[in-house]
Amino acid sequence: MRLLTRMGANRGALAGGVVLAIIFVMAIFAPLIVPIDPMATVATPLVAPGEQFAFGTDMLGRDVLAGIVHGARVSLLIGLLSTAVAVLIGVTIGAVAGYFGDWVDEVLVRVTEFFQTIPSFIFAILLVAIMTPGLGSIVISIAIVTWPPIARLARSEFLSLRHREFVEAAVLSGVRPLRIIVGEVLPNAASPLIVMSSLMIATAILTESALSFLGLGDPNRISWGYMIGAARTVFRQAWWLSVFPGLAIILTVLAINLVGEGLNDALNPHLKGRSSGDK
């Protein structure tokens, strides 16, 4: 309740939460909101926005509004799934490195640094191309290129917490390392990890949009990036094909970032006060 109260006092986070809630409702109830197959031809091609079709039609006569509403499912699903996989990988590696230290930390830090030296987007393109474009390959590719930052954050949190009194007391009591990591240290390191995870969702959505724009998205599912990529050759003749899905991406990413900043302020109010005092 305190977390929600603090976030509610942040106007930016409140606005972002409202927008994000609308987008989630739109994605969940897409078949009820627009009961049209977004891949089906419903009219003549390139009909401008008007009374019959609020957002117009594309080059194949598909309803753009149906694509926007149904595309929210794919974009949000990929954003959430890829972030969940990246967080699982990153927190596991960071927790093990930070808790055990010594040579374990040295090896895992070098592995993390190796992945960070590779250009992430180019690596994602390569991975999707190798695994063939599809929902699963996109999720795996985005997760593989986005886990290092959260691994480094988890490692730093575990390094600062592993010598605390409650951890040493658990060690002396004979508690197993896995139980200490999951039950004692991780809950105390959760706040910054939650904030970073929320911001990673926005990065994943942008990455999926870029991959779909390049034609590396799932060909059987419509997404906002796919819509923009398919319409890039007719932008001058049909601006609405790129503008509406582009606005959907901008609003979603902006809303996620606002909610993430609100979470950061709510979970770390002393940092907010300190930064305000510095100003």
Token pair in block for residue 1 = 């309740």
Task: Give the model's pLDDT for residue 8.
Answer: 65
Task: Give the model's pLDDT for residue 188.
Answer: 86
Helix axes 135-161 and 64-100, enclosed angle (nearest 10):
30
Q: Average the pLDDT over 46-58 and give the result.
A: 87
Average pLDDT, the chain: 87
Fold of 2-41+49-278: MetI-like fold (1.10.3720)
- Each domain of the chain, given as residue ranges in start order, spans 2-41+49-278
Task: Give the model's pLDDT for residue 216.
Answer: 87
Q: Per-residue pLDDT for 45 more than 50?
A: yes
Q: Per-residue pLDDT for 229 more than 80?
A: yes
Q: How many other C-beta atoms lie within 10 A of the C-beta of residue 19?
A: 17
* SS3 assignment, position 62: strand
**Nearest CA among 42, 5, 155 for reference residue 94:** 155
The more confidently predicted of residues 258 and 269 is 258
Residues across the chain:
279
Give the C-alpha separation, 76 to 83, whole Å: 10
CA 172 to chain CA centroid, Å, is 39
Task: Give the model's pLDDT for residue 151.
Answer: 94
Q: Per-residue pLDDT for 276 more than 60?
A: no
The more confidently predicted of residues 92 and 11 is 92
> Global pTM?
0.86
Token pair in block for residue 237 = 């003749």
Q: Per-residue pLDDT for 278 more than 80?
A: no
132-186 pLDDT, tens digit each: 888 889 999 999 999 999 999 999 999 988 888 888 888 888 888 888 888 888 8
Strand (E) or helix (H) holding 4: helix 2-9
Q: Per-residue pLDDT for 209 more than 50?
A: yes
